Amino acid sequence: MASYNRVILMGNLTRDPQLRYLPSNTAVCDFGLATNRRWRDQEGNQREEVCFVDIEVFGKQAEVVNQYMAKGRPILVEGHLRFESWTGQDGQKRSKHRVVAEKFQFVGSREQGQGGGGAPYNRSAPPQDSGPHPGPAGQGPNSVPPTGDEIPF
C-alpha cells in the first residue's frame, strides 16, 4: 500500500524557539506555530479558527531557527507528521502529532527584521548565495534527524 506524509504550514511562532542537544550532539529546536483559517459560514458570517502545531527541527536548521526566529514571527515550514505517545505522570496514556520540519523559509520583509525572501532553507539543497539571510546549509552528520535511541521521548 502506498502512503504519503507531507505537511506544509505557514503561520506565526507562538513561543520563542527552544534549542537543546541530544547525547549525539545533534541540535533539536522546538517551537509552536499558529495557523489561521478564515471562511464564511452558511449565514455569510466571517468565521476564523486557529490551529496550534508543535514543530521540531534538527541539525544546523535547528540552530538557524533558534538564532533568527522569535515569538510572533512568521515562517513557512515543510515536513512530515510524527505520532508520539507516552504515559503521563498521572499514569494516563497521552499522544499527539508533531511536525518534523525538513525545510523552512522565513516570511516577511528584511526591513521588519524577519529575514524574509530568498530561497527556502533545505538541508538537501546545495548552498545558494541569495543575500545576508541565513541560507541553506551543507549536508553533514548533524543535518539528519536522529533515529532509534537518540529520540528523547
What mean pLDDT, rounded, does the chain reach?
80
Long-range Cβ pairs for the range 133-138 (8 Å, 24+): 133/68, 133/106, 134/64, 134/67, 134/68, 134/106, 137/59, 137/60, 137/61, 137/64
pLDDT band at 137 (very low <50, low <70, confident <90, very high): very low
Q: Give 106's contacts (C-beta < 8 A, 6+ positions apart).
A: 68, 69, 73, 74, 75, 76, 114, 115, 116, 117, 118, 121, 133, 134
What local confidence, expressed as pLDDT, does residue 30 receive?
A: 97
What local confidence, expressed as pLDDT, does residue 108 receive?
A: 81
Is the domain covering 7-150 a CATH 3.30.70.2740 domain? no
CA angle at residue 86 from 85 to 87, to 5 degrees?
A: 145
Buried b (16+ CB within 10 A) or exposed e, 77-86: bbbeeeeeee
pLDDT digits (tens, 9 = 90+) for 63-101: 999 999 999 999 999 999 999 999 999 999 999 999 999
pLDDT digits (tens, 9 = 90+) for 36-73: 999 899 999 999 999 999 999 999 999 999 999 999 99
* Extents of the domains making up the chain: 7-150
